[in-house]
Structure 1
């Protein structure tokens, strides 16, 4: 798959390296010539251009990229890149980096953003997930459907330990998608018994998440 990444800073280069390793064709677009360093990701195609300019995106043939990633350190630039990619070139999937959490409300479909990634929010969620046992933690939000990926780690004395999955009385619009048990990834079945330290990963909308939190958090 051909992927265009706007911004060749540390974030853009890291994404490019990962995608190249997965076998994708990556184009790194960088406006600052001092940051154009092909040796950093030699398998990627490097372009010194302004991703906010239509002419640059036309030359790169962004319309042939199923995915565009706006990964610069400037939220305004990322929004412009997202909007151009979606409205002018019909890119199917636009992923945009949020640098300032205060701007998160702007990163939506109106600006051509399909997936918005806020590094501070992701890090906060990971920290919370690492230290919270028995509490429901939101890991990420799927903007297209206003649905969330949430997780709870069962403590030693949680009332659900020893119970089969079938006894989970889940709210409407909620699904248990997997159970993480050590190095194992378990596809839930009704008869699967829950164990202490299991990480239960759910998909739920906002209303269901609130009900789920009341249902299973802090229940020893």
Structure 2
């Protein structure tokens, strides 16, 4: 997969390093010359360019890339990069970093963003996930499809204990994708039994989250 990353700061470099380890082709776009350091990550293609400049993106052949990651520390720049990548270069997948949670509402499909990643929001979700048993925790939003990755940790005395997965009557726009049980990651099959303490990961639209709570027998916590 070919991935372009706007912003070669600590975040951009860390993302690039992980993608290279997975054998993806990575291009780093950085507007500050002093931050262009090919020796730090020689496997990446380094380009000294402002990713908000259309002509420079054309020169970098952005249209040949599968994914654009807008990872700068400036939300305005990330929005512009996302919009250019999607509308001018038809990049299939655009992921944008949200630095200020107050700007999160901007990062949607109207600005070319498929997935918005807010570090404060993710940290808050992880805290909620660690302490919330018996309620739904939203972990990530997939903007293009208006769906969320959500987690529900079942209580030890859940009425679902011992019942097979097929007995969960899920709403139409929800799907159970994974069961986390101790150190195991279980791809759920219809006859797999549910156990108390299971962490259930669903992809679901926002509109059916209350129906999803009802389906697994949990209530919204105040």
Shared topology, TM-score over 0.5?
yes
- Cα deviations across residues 191-211 of structure 1 (Å, max 9, x unaligned)? 211112211111211221112
The equivalent residue for 1:115 is 115
TM-score, with structure 2 as normaliser: 0.92
210-219 or 181-190: which moved more? 210-219
Shift of residue 128, structure 1, vs aligned partner: 0.9
Question: 1:132 Cα shift?
Answer: 1.3
Please show how residues 173-212 of structure 1 align to structure 2 within 5 Å: 173-212=173-212
Which deviates the most, 72-81 or 202-211?
Answer: 202-211
Map residues 1-220 of structure 1 onto 2, 5 A cutoff.
Answer: 1-215=1-215, 216-217=217-218
Pairwise CA RMSD of aligned residues? 1.7
Distance change in 2, residues 1:87/1:198 (3 Å): same
Deviation at 1:40, TM superposition (A): 2.6
TM-superposed deviation, 1:53: 1.0
Query: Separation in 1 of the partners of 2:134 and 2:12?
Result: 36
Q: Secondary structure at the match of 2:117?
A: strand
SS at 1:156 equivalent:
coil
Q: How far 1:37 sits from its partner (Å)? A: 2.0
- Partners in 1 of 2:58 and 2:3 — Cα distance? 15
Q: Give how far 1:42 is off.
A: 2.0
> Matches of 2:136 and 2:51 in 1, distance apart?
39
- Structure 2: how far apart are the matches of 1:137 and 1:153? 9
Q: Contact 2:147–2:203 (CA<8 Å) still a contact in 1?
A: yes
Q: Is the contact between residue 113 and residue 144 of structure 2 (CA under 8 Å) also seen in structure 1? A: no
Gaps of at least 5 residues in structure 2 are: none
* TM, length-normalised to structure 1: 0.93
Contact 1:158 1:218 in 2 (8 A): no
The number of equivalent residue pairs is 219
Superposed displacement of residue 217, structure 1:
1.7
Question: C-alpha displacement at 1:70, in angstroms?
Answer: 0.7
